[in-house]
């Protein structure tokens, strides 16, 4: 083998590995990564490229530590409903995925220690262990509650890294994190309707299974509408933004109630995720108001 072909082969392996790692969190891009990272940018406001890169890396390590083990324990579910994920598609073996999980856990803990954010990371580790290995993801409420801990960790920790750690989180940041966690706890079952067949395969009992469809979908509609009112009242965004948030909430809720196939629920969940993304952007208007910046109304 020539030096050129050896270098080409090594580069191909590295790129293949990076691609595989990114695929673990691909499905989180719209519902988790985008709204959480958007709020982190609003609250943390990184002032230089280095702090931004470090914050993104901190975020990615934490979400990867969850996703790798989640896809190991959820192998049978993914075979049915998410066949393109790295393990079930054959990009990485179960044994290698387990080794990757331990390596990511160790690196995450070390990196968090370096940034002084271990108090966020350790409870998060406990949450993902009882969620995955402990099997609490099979309980509909604990699934949403532990997911809310994940959201809180992503936002709190990344915000601290963006802001270079020392000062405590501001009141605006604390309220934003609390809202995010509570919204996920109360409306997290939005994701369960699209995964009914996969959940049934592993014995996971969600509202989509244990209650009539109108109960789960009706409660989601009521909660999304209620949260829209609360968020607009608290963050006081401009009227056009309030209208957009309300329209997204109403449309996603109507879609869940009117179209009830799993395929349709995937589309409904996308609209719900856009509503969630918009909701997570609202603290920006409080930050602007605190800075004395007035946004002129468009209506």
pLDDT digits (tens, 9 = 90+) for 244-288: 999 999 999 999 999 888 889 999 999 999 999 999 999 999 888
- Give, as one character, the DSSP assignment of residue 294: P
In this model, does residue 24 exceed pLDDT 90? yes
| pLDDT (0 to 100) of residue 153 | 95
Q: How far apart are CA 34 and CA 280, in angstroms?
A: 9
Within 10 angstroms of residue 83's Cβ, the number of other Cβ atoms is 9
3-state secondary structure of 205: strand
pLDDT value of position 58: 97
Q: How confident is the model at residue 295 (pLDDT cuts 50, 70, 90)?
A: low
Provide the pLDDT for residue 201. 66
The predicted pLDDT at position 231 comes to 97
**In the predicted model, what is the mean pLDDT of residues 109-116?**
95
Report the share of the chain in percent with pLDDT over 90: 60
Q: Is it the case that residue 293 has pLDDT exceeding 80? A: no
Sign of CA dihedral 145, 146, 150, 153: positive
The string of DSSP letters for 214-264 reads HHHHHHHHHHHHHHHHHHHHHH---HHHHHHHHHHHHHHHHHHHH--SHHH
φ/ψ (deg, to 5) at 139? -100, 125
Can you give the pLDDT at residue 29? 86
Pick 234 or 48 by higher pLDDT.
234
As a whole number, the mean pLDDT across the chain is: 89
What pLDDT is attached to residue 299? 47
> Residue 296: is its pLDDT beyond 70?
no
Nearest C-alpha neighbor of 153 from the set 112, 94, 201: 112
Rounded average pLDDT over 17-31: 90
Based on the number of CB atoms within 10 Å of its own CB, is 213 exposed (0-12), middle (13-18) or buried (19 or more)? middle
Q: Which of 237, 260, 257, 238 is nearest to 249 (CA)?
A: 257
Please give the pLDDT value at position 263.
87
- Quick: pLDDT tens for 130-180: 999 898 888 888 888 999 999 999 999 999 999 875 556 788 889 999 999
Kindly write down the DSSP assignment for every residue of 132-187, as one continuous string.
HTT-GGGBHHHHHHHHHHHHHHHHHHHHHHHTTS-SPPPHHHHHHHHHHHHHHHHH
282 — phi, psi (to 5°)?
-60, -35
Q: How many helices, marked H, and strands, marked E, lie in the chain? A: 14, 0
| End-to-end Cα, the chain, rounded Å | 68
**pLDDT tens track for 30-62:** 889 989 998 998 888 777 899 999 999 999 999
């Amino acid at each position: 083998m020539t030096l050129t072909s050896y270098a080409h082969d090594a580069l191909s392996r590295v790129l293949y590995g990076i691609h595989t790692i990114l695929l673990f969190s691909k499905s989180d891009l719209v519902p988790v990564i985008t709204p959480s990272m958007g709020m982190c940018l609003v609250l943390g406001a990184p002032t230089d490229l280095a702090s931004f890169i470090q914050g993104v890396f901190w975020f990615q390590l934490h979400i990867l530590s969850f996703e790798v083990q989640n896809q190991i324990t959820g192998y049978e579910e993914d075979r049915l409903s998410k066949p393109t994920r790295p393990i079930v598609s054959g990009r990485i073996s179960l044994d290698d995925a387990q080794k990757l999980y331990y390596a990511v856990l160790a690196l995450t803990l070390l990196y968090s220690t370096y940034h002084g954010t271990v108090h966020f990371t350790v409870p998060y580790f406990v949450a993902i262990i009882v969620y995955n290995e402990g099997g609490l993801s099979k309980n509909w409420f604990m699934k949403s509650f532990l997911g809310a801990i994940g959201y809180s960790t992503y936002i709190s920790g990344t915000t601290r890294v963006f802001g270079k750690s020392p000062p405590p989180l501001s009141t605006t940041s604390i309220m934003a994190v609390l809202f995010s966690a509570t919204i996920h706890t109360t409306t997290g079952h939005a994701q369960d309707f699209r995964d009914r067949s996969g959940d049934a395969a592993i014995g996971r009992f969600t509202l989509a299974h244990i209650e009539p469809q109108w109960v789960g979908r009706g409660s989601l509609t009521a909660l999304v509408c209620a949260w829209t009112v609360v968020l607009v009242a608290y963050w006081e965004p401009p009227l056009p933004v309030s209208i957009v948030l309300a329209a997204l909430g109403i449309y996603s809720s109507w879609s869940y109630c009117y179209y009830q196939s799993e395929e349709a629920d995937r589309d409904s969940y996308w609209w719900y995720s856009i509503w969630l993304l918009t909701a997570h952007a609202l603290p920006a208007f409080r930050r602007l108001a605190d800075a004395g910046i007035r946004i002129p109304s468009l209506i």
